[in-house]
Structure 1
Amino acid sequence: MIRTSLVKPNKPLFTDLAGLAGLVRDHDVFGVGGHHFARLPITLIKAIMARGTKRLRYVSWAGGLPLELLLEADAIAEIDTCFSSLDIFGLPPRFRRAAETGALPVRDWTALAMIQALRAAQQNLPSLPFQPPVGSDMMARVPGVKLAPDAIDGEPMAFAPALRLDTLVLHAQRADESGNVQILGPRALDVAMAGAARQVLVTVEEIVPVGALAQAGRQTVLTRNQVTAIALAPGAAYPTSCLPFYVTDYARLSEAFSDNGRRLSESLSAPGEAVRAQVVDAAKIDAATVNAVADTLASPALLPTPAPASIDEILAARIAAELGNDSFASAGAVSPLANVAYRLAKATHAPGMIIATMSCGHLDVAPSPMILSLLESLDGETAAAHAGGDDTYSTYYQAGAVTHEIVAAAKVDRRGRVNTIAIDKPSGGVIRLPGQGGMADVANMHRDYLLYVPRHSPLSVVDEVEIASSARGLLTEAERVPHGYRTGRSLVFTDLCVFRLDTETRQLVVIETMPGVTLEQIREATGFPISIDPECRAVAALDKDMLALLRSRIDPLGLRRLEFVNAKRRAALLDEILALDREFVDRCIQGSGAARGQARARR
C-alpha cells in the first residue's frame, strides 16, 4: 500500500476565501470540522459550492448542515458518516432523500471505527484495532473493517483500515501570524482529521501576533506544520456558533430549515446588524447572570398555578432517579430528555455526579438552565475540561468509565436492540434515520444500558428490528468482566412503562407502569407478547418540589417536550421555544448591561 505523505510546510499559506476554496479539487475525500451547530465552516463551504466543485466523498463524524449544503449544490458523490441530524430541527431532508432513493452510496460508521481509521492514517499505519460492537449489525456495515484475532491473546478484535482525507475544512477562533491555529471548546474529531488529511484549510475569526495564543486557557493548537492554508473570515461559522465571539442563531436556522421555497445556502446569509449584535452580546453572558435571571423568573409570585406533571416530566424524574453521585453521564447529540434528567439529578440528589455534554467535549459541567442559545457557552464556562471525541473515547468510553449515555430509540425490539438507521414503511420502502453515532460502540462499554422510547406503539416497540444499530451484546457479569466493563442495569423507558432486559432470557420484562397506565394498554401497544415482573409496580408520583425545579431552573424552555410531539405539532412547539429563548436571552443581556454599568460606577 502506498501512503500519501501528510507532512505540510512549516509556514501555511495566508490567503482569502476564494483562495481556500480553489484548493479543493473534484473527487477529493473531503472532511468537515466542528460539530453539532458549533464552529462549522459555513462560509468556506458556500465558497466551495460557488466554484462548482463536484464528486466529493464526504467523510465526517456528523453530516447535518454542512452535508445538506453540499448535497444542495450536487457536490457530493459518496457519504461516509456516523450520523446525520439537524439536532432539534429533525431529520435532514436532502440526506434522507439521497439515502432512501439510493441516489448516493451512504456508508454508516461507528464513531470508534472512524476514530481508529483516522488515527491509523495519522500514524502511517495500515489499520488500528478497536473493540467490536458485540450484539449490533454494524461490523457488516462499516467499510473495510475486519474481525481478526489479537496478536497477543487471540481475542477477536475489529480492525479499521486507514482513512486518509484529501482535504479537511474547519473554522477556528484564531491563528497567529506564523500559522498556528487555536481551537477553543470541544473539538470533535478535528485533531484526528487534521492528522489524516493531505491538506487542512482553515478560516479564523482573528489573526494575532506570535505568542498571543498562549494567553488563552483550555485550548487546542494545531501547530503551523499541520495547517496548509488560512483565511481571515470573521463570522464565517454563522449561523452556527464560534465562542467566545458569537452563539448559534437558532432563529435563523429555524427559518432556513423551514419550507420557504428558498435555497438553504441563500437562507444562511450574513446577519443584519441587529441580529449580529444579538448573537455577539449573547456570547458574553455568563453563568452567574443566567442563574440570576432564572432565579427571578422562578419566583413563586411569577409562577403560574402548577399543572399536573406531564409524561415528559415524569420520565425525566424517573430517569434521574437512576443516577447517583458515582455516575458519569454523557449527553448524546439529540437527547433533550436525557440532558434534563442528568441536570435534574445533579441539582438534587446526585451533586457529585459528572455530566459530559457536546459528545463528551464539555467534561463535568454544572447543571445550568437549558437555555437553547446559551447552553453551549454555559457548559463551556462551567466545564472542568474541554476535549475531543477521539481522546474521550480512549480515556473514558473504552476504559469503561462512563456509566450512562441515555438516548432515544426510534425502534427497540424484545431483546433491547435498537434501530436508528433505517426502518421499513408499512407501505413499502424505508425511512432513513440519523444513524447510530457512537451507540454501537458504547452500548457495551457503559456500566448501565438505558434507552427511552418517547412514543410507545407497536411500530416502535417491536418483535425484531430490521437493523440492530446498537445492542447490549455483553449483558451478564460473566460476559462483561473479561472485557474490563462494569455491570449495571439494563432498562428501556417508554411513555407507558419501564422494561428490564433480563439477563437469563435476554428479553424485555415490564417492571414498572407509568401513572394511570394499565398492563392491557401496554400489551396493546407492544409488538410482542409482554412478560411482567412479579413485583411490577407503578412509577411513583413526581415530587412537587422536584417538578417546580425542573420547570423553572432546569428546563425553563421545555426543550424536553420536543421528543414527545409529532412532526405536525413540532413546528409550532419550536416557534414557542424559540420565542421563550429570545425573551430569556434579552433579559440576560439587559442584566449583563446593568451589571457592567454598576461595575463602572463603582470604579
Structure 2
Amino acid sequence: MVKPNRPQFTDVEGLAAMVGHGDAFGVGGHHFARLPVALLRAITRSGVKDLHYVSWAGGLPLELLLEVDAVAEIDLCFSSLDIFGLPPKFRAAAESGAIPVRDWTALAMIQALRAAQQNLSSMPFQLPQGSDMLARMPNAIAGPDPLAGTDTGFIPPLRLDTFVVHAQRADASGNVQIIGPRALDFAMAGAARKVLVTVEEIVPVGALRQDGRQSILTRNQVSAIALAPGGAYPASCLPFYVTDYQALSEAFAAKDTVLSDKLRLPSGGLSERLQEAAKVSAETVLAMPAPAQGDKKASVDEIIAARIAAELDNESFASAGAVSPLANVAYRLAKATHAPDMIIATMSCGHLDIAPSPMVLSLIESLDCETAAAHAGGDDTYSTYYQAGAVTHEIVGAAQVDRRGRVNTIALRKPSGGLLRLPGQGGMADVANMHRDYLLYIPRHSVQSLVDGVEIASSARGLLTPAERDPMGYRTGKALVFTDLCVFRLDQTSRELIVIETMPGVTHQQIRDATGFAVTFDAGCRELPMPSGDVLAALRNRVDPLGLRRLEFVSAKERGALIAEILAADRAMLERLIAAQKSPAAS
C-alpha cells in the first residue's frame, strides 16, 4: 500500500481518530511483548464500531476491543492470555456465536498478507494435510500447482485498512525501529492502507544507525506516529521495561471493573522495578544461586519434562510455541545437560539460538532477546525454517487427541450441547507435518482428552511415512504423545496410537480405563525411567526455579493459587537480581 514519504506526527488520541468504523484492523506485537496498549485503550474510548479484527493472535488486544463491543468479526489463528489461560470475552463471543470467528493456519495468513503486500491476486501455501483447517479458512482452496501438478493451497490477498503497532523508537523523519522479534509486523504493515505507530522515543535523524540487531520500518510504510512512553504497558517493550505480570494478574482477576481501566499506566509512570529488570543480564542471572528445592521424589511434570528432554540431542532444532512452559523447560533442560549444541528458538521462532537461561517469568523474554544469535519475524522463520523442514521438534500441548493422533484445539461440544471454545491451533496445522518429529502432550489423561475421534481435526500428522514425506522435502522422525499416564507412538502401519511406555506405577488397566478408545500396547512396552538426581537438580535449580512447568498440570480452579505463588517467587527473585545487577558484591 503506497503511503507518503513523511508520516504525520500526532498524539495517541490523534492516532485513534484515524481508525474508521468497519475497518479491517490488525494489531502488531506478540503475546505480552510490544502490544500497543495505550493506543488500543484510546481506540476503545473513541466509540469506533464494527471492526474486522485480523491478527495471528487475539489475546489482550482483542479482549480490550470486545469489552466495548467494537468488533463485528474475527479472523485469527490463536487466542490466549498466556499463563492466565483462555480469554473470557473471546470465549463468550465465540461460544455464543454472537461474532463470526474464522480460524486460519499461520502459513495461510502469512501468505494472504504477503499477497496483499506484493500486490498479487493469490499466493500458494503447503496444505495442512490431515487437518480440517482448509475448509475453515475463508476463500482458501486446494488445486493442482500449474507447473508441478501436485495439490497446493491457494489464498487470496488479506488486505487491512488499519494496522496498529508499538515500537521502540522513531527518528524525526518517521523511520520506525523494532528491536527483538517482530512477529508478523512487516507483512501486516505491507498489507495495510494505514499504519499507526506509537513509540517510546523520537530521536534525531541518523540516531537509529547506532543501534545493533534491529529492524526498520521505513518512513514510507508508516502513516502516522505518536510518542507514547510506556505505551505497551503492562506488556513489555525491551530494552525499556519488562512485562508487569502482577498488574496483568490483578486486571484479569477483577470481575467487576473495566479491563481497560485496570491496564492504564500508573500516574507516577513506569515503576523502577520494571525498568531495572530490563537491564538484568544473563550473566547476572546465571551467577545468582537459585534456591535449592531439595531431593524430594520426582513429580509427574518433572518426569515428563525429563523424558521429553531425552528426545533431544546436539542436532536438534527445537521451537517453543506460543504458550508451552513444559516444552520450554524440556528444551532448556536438554541444552543445559546433554545437548549443548542444539538450537532453541523461542517467542514462536522470533528468538533464534538462545542460551538456556533460567526461566524467571519476568525475564524470560529479555534474557532470550539478549542471548539469541538473531531476531526474526514469524513470516521469515516460516520460510527459512518451518517450510524448509529444518525444525526437528515443536512440542505442543493438546486439549484432545484421538486414536489417529489428530488434535482438536478449536472447540469441544459440552454434554449439554453447548460449545466450549479453545484457544485455536496457532501454527500447528502447518508444522505438524513440517517438523521431523511430531510430539504432543496431554497433561491430564482422561476419556475426554483421549477420544476415538476428534470433532474438529485442527492439526494432524497427515504425512506420516517416508514415502509421503520425502517428496515434500520433510524428514521422517518420531510421532509421540506424552500423558501423565503413558507415552504413545503413532504407528506408521496402522496409523493409530500404541502405548510404548507407562509412567512409574501405572498399570495397563489404569490406562485402558482412562482412554476413550481401545488401547494397544507395544510388545516392548516398558516403564518410564525416573530422572536421575543430576537431571532433577538441573531441572529444579538451574532451568525452572519457579516451577512454571506446573502450570500445565493443574486444573483451572488450582491455577489462580499457583500463579499467585509463582508471581511472589518471581518478584522476590527479581529484586535479588536487580540488586545484584546494580552491585555485584550484593549477591
TM category, shorter = over 0.9
- Where does residue 3 of structure 1 map in the other structure? none
- Where does residue 118 of structure 2 map in the other structure? 123
Aligned residue for 2:362, secondary structure, equals: coil
Per-residue displacement from partner, 1:259-302 (whole Å, max 9, x unpaired)? 34111111102135496111111101010111111xx235xxxx
Aligned residue for 1:183, secondary structure, equals: strand
Per-residue displacement from partner, 1:471-510 (whole Å, max 9, x unpaired)? 0000000000000000000000000000000000000000
Q: Are residues 1:493 and 2:482 paired?
A: yes
Per-residue displacement from partner, 1:125-176 (whole Å, max 9, x unpaired)? 0110000000000000011101111011100100011000000000000000
- Where does residue 205 of structure 2 map in the other structure? 210
Give the counterpart of 1:100 among 95, 104, 109: 95
Q: Are residues 1:297 and 2:286 paired?
A: no
Rounded Cα–Cα distance in structure 1 between residues aligned with 2:585 and 2:305: 37
| CA separation of 1:366 and 1:304: change in aligned 2, threshold 3 A | closer
Are the equivalent residues in 1 in contact too, given 2:230–2:269 (CA < 8 A)? no
Aligned residue for 1:265, secondary structure, equals: helix
Output the amino acid matched with 1:355.
I
Aligned residue for 2:164, secondary structure, equals: strand
Aligned residue for 2:229, secondary structure, equals: coil
Give the counterpart of 2:545 among 556, 578, 581: 556
Give the counterpart of 1:191 among 186, 194, 198: 186
Shift of 1:18: 1.2
Are the equivalent residues in 1 in contact too, given 2:503–2:527 (CA < 8 A)? yes
Rounded Cα–Cα distance in structure 2 between residues aligned with 1:337 and 1:539: 18
Give the counterpart of 1:277 among 268, 272, 275: 272
Are the equivalent residues in 1 in contact too, given 2:331–2:344 (CA < 8 A)? yes
Output the amino acid matched with 1:261.
D
- Where does residue 160 of structure 2 map in the other structure? 165
Gaps of 5+ in 1: 1-5, 599-603
Give the counterpart of 1:458 among 431, 447, 452: 447
Are the equivalent residues in 1 in contact too, given 2:230–2:270 (CA < 8 A)? no
Output the amino acid matched with 2:60.
L
Are the equivalent residues in 1 in contact too, given 2:33–2:243 (CA < 8 A)? yes
- Where does residue 61 of structure 1 map in the other structure? 56
Shift of 1:595: 3.2
Rounded Cα–Cα distance in structure 1 between residues aligned with 2:336 and 2:113: 38
Seq. identity, %: 72
Rounded Cα–Cα distance in structure 2 between residues aligned with 1:526 and 1:126: 47
Shift of 1:427: 2.2
Aligned residue for 2:482, secondary structure, equals: strand
| CA separation of 1:596 and 1:130: change in aligned 2, threshold 3 A | farther
Aligned residue for 1:220, secondary structure, equals: strand
Output the amino acid matched with 1:307.
K
Give the counterpart of 2:508 among 515, 519, 544: 519
Within 5 Å, give how 1:76-155 maps onto structure 2.
Answer: 76-155=71-150
Shift of 1:596: 9.3
- Where does residue 402 of structure 1 map in the other structure? 391
Q: CA RMSD in A?
A: 1.1
Per-residue displacement from partner, 1:164-216 (whole Å, max 9, x unpaired)? 00000000000000000000000000000000000100000000011110111
Give the counterpart of 2:575 among 586, 591, 599: 586
Gaps of 5+ in 2: none
Shift of 1:123: 0.4
Give the counterpart of 1:14 among 3, 6, 9: 9
Rounded Cα–Cα distance in structure 2 between residues aligned with 1:173 and 1:528: 52
- Where does residue 400 of structure 2 map in the other structure? 411
Aligned residue for 1:159, secondary structure, equals: strand
Within 5 Å, give how 1:317-356 maps onto structure 2.
Answer: 317-356=306-345
Rounded Cα–Cα distance in structure 2 between residues aligned with 1:21 and 1:596: 48
Rounded Cα–Cα distance in structure 2 between residues aligned with 1:80 and 1:452: 27
Rounded Cα–Cα distance in structure 1 between residues aligned with 2:511 and 2:35: 43
Output the amino acid matched with 2:250.
E
Per-residue displacement from partner, 1:68-103 (whole Å, max 9, x unpaired)? 000001100000000000000000000000000000
Rounded Cα–Cα distance in structure 1 between residues aligned with 2:8 and 2:444: 53
| CA separation of 1:498 and 1:552: change in aligned 2, threshold 3 A | same
Shift of 1:430: 1.3
Output the amino acid matched with 1:52.
G
Rounded Cα–Cα distance in structure 1 between residues aligned with 2:91 and 2:132: 21
Rounded Cα–Cα distance in structure 1 between residues aligned with 2:290 and 2:219: 48
Give the counterpart of 2:298 among 301, 304, 309: 309
Rounded Cα–Cα distance in structure 2 between residues aligned with 1:365 and 1:142: 34
Per-residue displacement from partner, 1:547-568 (whole Å, max 9, x unpaired)? 0110011000000000000011
Are the equivalent residues in 1 in contact too, given 2:144–2:150 (CA < 8 A)? yes
Aligned residue for 1:49, secondary structure, equals: helix
| CA separation of 1:117 and 1:274: change in aligned 2, threshold 3 A | closer
Shift of 1:11: 0.3
| CA separation of 1:501 and 1:76: change in aligned 2, threshold 3 A | same
Rounded Cα–Cα distance in structure 2 between residues aligned with 1:542 and 1:390: 38
Aligned residue for 1:78, secondary structure, equals: strand
- Where does residue 244 of structure 2 map in the other structure? 249
Aligned residue for 1:373, secondary structure, equals: helix
Runs (4 or more) in structure 1 with deviation over 4 Å come to: 272-275
Rounded Cα–Cα distance in structure 2 between residues aligned with 1:320 and 1:553: 14
Output the amino acid matched with 1:509.
I
Aligned residue for 1:62, secondary structure, equals: coil
Output the amino acid matched with 2:222.
V
User: Normalized against structure 2, the TM-score is what?
Assistant: 0.99
Rounded Cα–Cα distance in structure 1 between residues aligned with 2:266 and 2:341: 41
Equivalenced residues, count: 587
Rounded Cα–Cα distance in structure 1 between residues aligned with 2:373 and 2:171: 26
Are the equivalent residues in 1 in contact too, given 2:433–2:460 (CA < 8 A)? yes
Rounded Cα–Cα distance in structure 1 between residues aligned with 2:145 and 2:216: 35
Are the equivalent residues in 1 in contact too, given 2:512–2:518 (CA < 8 A)? yes
Rounded Cα–Cα distance in structure 1 between residues aligned with 2:578 and 2:30: 26
Per-residue displacement from partner, 1:566-585 (whole Å, max 9, x unpaired)? 01111000000000000010
Rounded Cα–Cα distance in structure 2 between residues aligned with 1:558 and 1:272: 33
Output the amino acid matched with 2:538.
L
Q: Are residues 1:477 and 2:472 paired?
A: no
- Where does residue 378 of structure 2 map in the other structure? 389
Shift of 1:305: 3.6
User: Normalized against structure 1, the TM-score is what?
Assistant: 0.96
Are the equivalent residues in 1 in contact too, given 2:579–2:586 (CA < 8 A)? no
Output the amino acid matched with 2:285.
V
Q: Are residues 1:182 and 2:171 paired?
A: no
Give the counterpart of 2:44 among 44, 49, 59: 49
- Where does residue 547 of structure 1 map in the other structure? 536
